[in-house]
């Protein structure tokens, strides 16, 4: 059995799966002020009555790190940056404890200026005096030669809980983004560590001494222990869980939008032949542009609990959540209250919902039902506008799926897959208001938690080789060795694949899920005078993202189609098939 849990802004969903399908699903309210208590409650309810030894893993998707960064609730971080000639690294300052130091490595990995160890020791003393316990170290070309970062770590000495080295956090050459990425990992580390220890303790108290996995922003997972070294990878894991929950239901060979409509927000992404689109550089969170590999997703402030108000004599669906719907004891009318008035929801206090919508209807001179219908349409139109805007933005740049660059591809999805508690209601109306053919995914109420449970462990390895200098290296993997002039791209791929498999297994992957694919392969000759002196080689391989090998049987059981399809597509009449 597998437990999947997804922490949303309004509710936290938990599911219990076995190889043949869904055993149990629960929803618990999310307490944003105490996410651990929320997770603990979800785990307690989903694990009640089961034999602990039957559970083989737990997979979590949480908003913990995302919320901490967005709200600025992170600890003090020391940053030590070595740049050398070129742009001033002060432009990328992350906070008060940010130090630019001497020393530089060039783009070929050759030392141009030595470090000043006395300078590093002085910085170490100042950080300790300020009670800074977490440090990030970034050199401009450390991914070509990490010697300076390693030397800085050694010189810092004892007294720091965790030191994050930029070349191990991100292998890309984008210096500003590597600074931001290293900083974010160090900033969320203490919060992540405390959460990890609390969750592990809670599970063990229930007899569940099993591997714990976290959802990553790229739609894969990694085990909790590995996430201690890369906590930033769990940023924006919620949208990734939604996409994973839709992959199996998506029509093969087609493009489709994925919408997860929650209480607070709606998450959006695009699938092309069941492969999610990838942000080609890295995710941006607030003001931080990073190298964190992530799906190309959007989040807008429209959900079931979006507050409704009157602005300038017109009804307006706000991006703010003031609490639950009035039908469920909340303080202000919401989109959910409008659905109750329209008869689209059976639960909740209808009289309270009517009272809330009526208070708005009186201000705009409409009947309660007419106002409710307008509120619902406003929410749907905002979703459609955001979806169209997202497609336009995607088409304004090269399109990458999680597997490859799609040269010249234009995204023009005509199908839409929805999940979330109100998915079925929204699907009918979105189809009526647009040219999209809409469907709800199987078990749409908890599909995001199912996506978390079924996502496979993923990772990537980038390997560089410079045969003129006689060296091959994968700095993120702490790998480096001498090579001869005859070292080729094929040799690099073989070496990178071996490193990848070892890395994936260490992060919790199962051997049967290790589908390796080549993401990048490039080599060019280095010429001096009129002679070729060597090759510069770069290869990147990854474990193919997707669902664990048992997913086919699970999805077949979940769908239970009446018409042979994997989804409940909406008929032209506006009613589910």
DSSP 553: H
Residue 375 has pLDDT above 90, yes or no: yes
**What are 73's two structure tokens?**
């609730």
Tell the residue number behind the tokens 């000043």, with chain if given.
Answer: 116
59-68 pLDDT, tens digit per residue, is 998 877 777 7
Residue 554 has pLDDT above 60, yes or no: yes
DSSP 344: -
Q: What is the pLDDT of residue 555?
A: 64
Residue 383 has pLDDT above 90, yes or no: yes
Q: What is the pLDDT of residue 560?
A: 52
Mean pLDDT for the stretch of residues 400-414:
78
Where does residue 242 rank: exposed (0-12), middle (13-18), buried (19+ CB within 10 A)? buried
207-261 pLDDT, tens digit per residue, is 888 888 999 988 889 888 888 888 888 888 888 888 888 888 888 888 999 999 9
Residue 565 has pLDDT above 60, yes or no: no
Alpha helices for 56-207 (secondary structure H) = 64-70, 117-129, 147-156, 166-169, 175-205
What lies within 8 Å, CB to CB, of 207 at 6+ separation is: 52, 53
Find the range with the poorest average confidence among 14-28, 62-76, 231-245.
Answer: 62-76
pLDDT-derived band at 23, boundaries 50, 70, 90: confident
How many Cα atoms sit within 13 Å of 4 on the Cβ side? 26
What lies within 8 Å, CB to CB, of 486 at 6+ separation is: 467
Residue 2 has pLDDT above 80, yes or no: yes
Mean pLDDT for the stretch of residues 62-87:
83
Alpha helices for 396-443 (secondary structure H) = 423-432
308-321 pLDDT, tens digit per residue, is 999 999 999 988 78
Between 8 and 422, whose confidence is greater? 422
Q: What is the pLDDT of residue 98?
A: 95
Instruction: Give the separation between CA 250 and CA 567, rounded to whole angstroms.
Output: 8
Asked whether the CA dihedral 427, 428, 434, 435 is positive or negative, the reply is positive
Q: pTM, whole model, 2 decimals?
A: 0.83
First to last CA, the chain: 31
DSSP 544: P
Q: What is the pLDDT of residue 567?
A: 56
Q: CATH second-level architecture of 2-71+191-241?
A: 2-Layer Sandwich (3.30)
Asked whether the CA dihedral 532, 535, 536, 538 is positive or negative, the reply is positive
Find the range with the poorest average confidence among 108-112, 266-270, 357-361, 413-417.
Answer: 108-112
Instruction: Give the separation between CA 569 and CA 567, rounded to whole angstroms.
Output: 6
Q: Which backbone phi and psi does 272 adopt, to 5 degrees?
A: -120, 110
Rg (Cα) of the chain, in Å, rounded? 25
pLDDT-derived band at 280, boundaries 50, 70, 90: confident
Q: What is the pLDDT of residue 154?
A: 93
Q: What is the pLDDT of residue 296?
A: 86
- Please spell the DSSP secondary structure of 284-298, one letter per residue: EETTEE-----B--E
Distance of CA 207 to the CA centre of its chain: 29
Q: Which of 248-257, 298-307, 359-368, 539-548 has the highest mean pLDDT?
A: 359-368
């Amino acid at each position: 059995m597998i437990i999947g849990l997804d922490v949303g802004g309004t509710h936290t969903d938990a599911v219990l799966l076995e190889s043949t399908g869904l055993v149990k699903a629960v929803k618990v309210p999310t307490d944003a002020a105490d996410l651990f208590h929320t997770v603990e409650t979800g785990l307690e309810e989903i694990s009640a009555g089961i034999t602990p030894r039957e559970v083989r893993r737990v997979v979590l998707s949480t908003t913990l790190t995302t919320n901490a960064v967005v709200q600025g609730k992170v600890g003090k971080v020391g940053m030590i940056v070595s740049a050398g000639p070129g742009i001033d690294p002060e432009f990328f300052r992350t906070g008060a404890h940010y130090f630019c130091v001497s020393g530089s490595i060039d783009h070929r990995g050759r030392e141009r200026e030595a470090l000043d160890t006395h300078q590093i020791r002085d910085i170490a003393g100042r950080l300790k005096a300020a009670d800074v316990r977490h440090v990030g170290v970034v050199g401009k070309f450390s991914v070509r030669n990490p010697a300076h970062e390693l030397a800085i770590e050694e010189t810092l000495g004892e007294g720091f809980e965790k030191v994050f080295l930029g070349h191990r956090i991100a292998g890309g050459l984008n210096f500003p983004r590597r600074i931001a990425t290293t900083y974010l990992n160090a900033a969320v580390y203490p919060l992540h560590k405390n959460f990890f220890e609390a969750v592990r303790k809670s599970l063990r108290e229930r007899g569940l001494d099993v591997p714990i996995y976290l959802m990553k922003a790229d739609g894969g997972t990694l085990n909790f222990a590995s996430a201690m070294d890369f906590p930033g990878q769990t940023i924006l894991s919620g949208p990734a869980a939604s996409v994973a929950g839709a992959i199996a239901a998506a029509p093969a060979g087609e493009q489709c939008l994925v919408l997860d409509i929650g209480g607070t927000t709606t998450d959006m992404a695009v699938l092309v032949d069941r492969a999610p689109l990838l942000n080609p550089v890295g995710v941006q969170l607030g003001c931080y542009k990073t190298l964190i590999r992530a799906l190309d997703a959007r989040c807008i402030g429209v959900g079931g609990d979006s507050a409704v108000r009157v602005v300038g004599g017109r009804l307006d669906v706000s991006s703010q959540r003031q609490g639950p719907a009035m039908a469920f004891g909340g303080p202000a009318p919401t989109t959910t209250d409008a659905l109750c008035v329209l008869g689209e929801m059976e639960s909740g206090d209808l009289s309270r919902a009517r009272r809330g919508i009526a208070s708005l209807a009186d201000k705009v001179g409409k009947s309660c039902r007419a106002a409710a219908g307008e509120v619902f349409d406003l929410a749907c139109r905002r979703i459609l506008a955001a979806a169209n805007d997202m497609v336009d933005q995607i088409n304004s740049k090269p399109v990458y799926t999680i597997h490859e660059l799609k040269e010249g591809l234009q995204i023009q999805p005509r199908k839409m897959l929805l999940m979330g508690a109100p998915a079925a209601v929204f699907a009918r109306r979105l189809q009526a208001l647009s040219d999209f053919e809409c469907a709800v995914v199987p078990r749409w109420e908890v599909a995001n938690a199912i996506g978390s449970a079924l996502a496979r462990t993923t990772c990537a390895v980038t390997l560089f080789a410079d045969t003129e200098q006689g060296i091959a290296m994968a700095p993120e993997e702490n790998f480096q060795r001498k090579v001869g002039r005859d070292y080729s791209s094929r040799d690099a791929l073989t070496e990178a694949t071996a490193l990848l498999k070892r890395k994936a297994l260490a992060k919790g992957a199962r051997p049967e899920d290790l589908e390796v694919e080549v993401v990048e392969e490039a080599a060019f000759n280095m010429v001096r005078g009129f002679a070729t002196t060597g090759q510069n080689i770069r290869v990147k391989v990854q474990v193919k993202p997707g669902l664990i090998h048992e997913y086919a049987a699970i999805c077949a059981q979940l769908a239970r189609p009446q018409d042979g399809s994997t989804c409940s597509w909406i008929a032209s009449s506006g009613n589910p098939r």
